[in-house]
């Protein structure tokens, strides 16, 4: 299987010259955490930008100074196993697909899982029990929002399980929720939220009332996490098949989901990155060519 068989070609990207606000607005629109960067007016790839890059340089506004130059890329004609090995080795969730120096698409963990595991016969008959992480990072629903973000960041996660005083699952909060919150708060606290066109968000990153990236922390409204969490939880049963689990993650565009028992009790969490290791086992290693 080749990368071209799994990759997405309709890719959103940002351009240089550009600013931090351009990236933040696209993140809010798409809920994605990273994008390719192209030279303005072309599809010539010049870098990659992720949420972590924004946090590493909180005082920098120019995209050219924030992005990672000369990113790892792959050809659409490359074997999919090469993409899997690169993701596992580098810890990436996605990287650009480049042909003749131009951006041709993006290959991500969900793309690979869909291509390798979703219709795989063995995955359709094997449940997820061996891939469920029983260590759950959670926050009480009354935890201050800013503290919940610190907990998530210190745990090295992209989302937190939210529980009530009985320890029962009531919601989830993710980086995407923090970004969405910034839009809602801007609408509530700023009289003019749009400038230019209706879809151009006027990002005010200096007000104490809403999300602000500063010194690697997010300054957030003083509200409990329950007011910002996602209550419509997408979960999977502990007896779900690997194939069904992959379909659920991809359909809902999430990278992890709580795992519940038949009685509805929280038993763990499953992440697409763990399933990537299984995908690697299902793909034959790339044969090295002898010279």
Q: Where are the domains of the chain?
A: 3-112, 129-279
User: Which of residues 264 and 226 earns the better pLDDT score?
Assistant: 226
Alpha-carbon Rg for the chain in angstroms: 20
Which of 117-126, 140-149, 211-220 has the weakest average pLDDT?
A: 211-220
> If we measure between CA atoms, which residue out of 62, 82, 109, 102 comes closest to residue 253?
109
- Second-level CATH architecture of 129-279: Roll (3.10)
| pLDDT given for residue 287 in this prediction | 53
Mean pLDDT of 81-89: 90
Q: Do domains 3-112 and 129-279 have the same CATH topology?
A: yes
Cα atoms in the Cβ-side hemisphere of radius 13 Å centred on 29: 13
Average pLDDT of the chain is: 81
Bridge partners, 258 (sequence order): 269
pLDDT of residue 187: 39
pLDDT higher than 80, residue 258: yes
Span of 20-29, 205-214, 238-247, 258-267 with lowest mean pLDDT? 205-214
State the average pLDDT over residues 11-26. Answer: 89
pLDDT category of residue 119 using cuts at 50, 70 and 90: confident
- pLDDT, residue 181, reads 65
Q: What pLDDT is attached to residue 57?
A: 77
3-112 topology per CATH: CBS-domain (3.10.580)
pLDDT of residue 240: 93
pLDDT at 286: 56
pLDDT at residue 270, as a whole number:
92
CB atoms under 10 Å from CB of 241, counted, come to 18
Burial of 8 (0-12, 13-18, 19+ CB in 10 A): middle
Cβ proximity of 270 and 245 under 8 Å? yes
What does the pLDDT read at residue 138? 92
Model confidence at 221: pLDDT above 90: no
Beta pairing class for 45-50 and 34-39: antiparallel
Three-point CA angle 95, 103, 255, nearest 5°: 30
Taking only the tens place, the pLDDT of each residue in 156-199 is: 887 899 999 988 889 999 876 776 665 444 434 433 333 333 33
pLDDT, residue 62, reads 92
**How sure is the predictor about 15, in pLDDT bands with cuts at 50, 70 and 90?**
very high
């Amino acid at each position: 299987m080749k990368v071209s068989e799994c990759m997405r070609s309709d890719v959103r990207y940002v351009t240089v010259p550009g600013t931090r606000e351009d990236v933040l607005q696209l993140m809010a629109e798409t809920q994605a955490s990273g994008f390719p960067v192209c030279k303005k007016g072309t599809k010539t790839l010049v870098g990659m930008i992720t949420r972590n890059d924004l946090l590493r340089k909180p005082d920098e506004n120019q995209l050219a100074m924030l992005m990672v130059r000369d990113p790892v890329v792959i050809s659409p004609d490359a074997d999919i196993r090469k993409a899997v090995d690169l993701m596992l080795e580098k810890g990436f969730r996605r990287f650009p697909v480049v042909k003749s120096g131009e951006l041709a698409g993006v290959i991500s963990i969900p793309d690979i899982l869909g291509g390798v595991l979703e219709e795989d016969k063995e995955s359709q008959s094997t449940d997820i029990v061996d891939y469920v992480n029983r260590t759950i990072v959670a926050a009480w629903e009354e935890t201050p929002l800013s503290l919940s973000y610190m907990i998530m960041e210190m745990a090295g996660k992209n989302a937190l399980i939210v529980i009530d005083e009985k320890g029962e699952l009531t919601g989830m909060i993710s980086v995407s929720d923090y970004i969405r919150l910034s839009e809602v708060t801007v609408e509530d606290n700023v009289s003019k939220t749009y400038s230019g066109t209706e879809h151009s968000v006027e990002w005010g990153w200096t007000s104490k009332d809403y999300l602000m990236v500063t010194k690697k922390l997010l300054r957030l409204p003083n509200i409990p996490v329950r007011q910002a969490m996602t209550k419509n939880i997408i979960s999977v049963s502990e007896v779900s098949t690997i194939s069904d689990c992959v379909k659920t993650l991809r359909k809902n565009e999430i990278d992890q989901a709580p795992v519940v028992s038949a009685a509805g009790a929280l038993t763990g969490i499953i992440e697409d990155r763990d399933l990537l290791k299984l995908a690697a086992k299902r793909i034959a290693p790339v044969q090295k060519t002898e010279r």
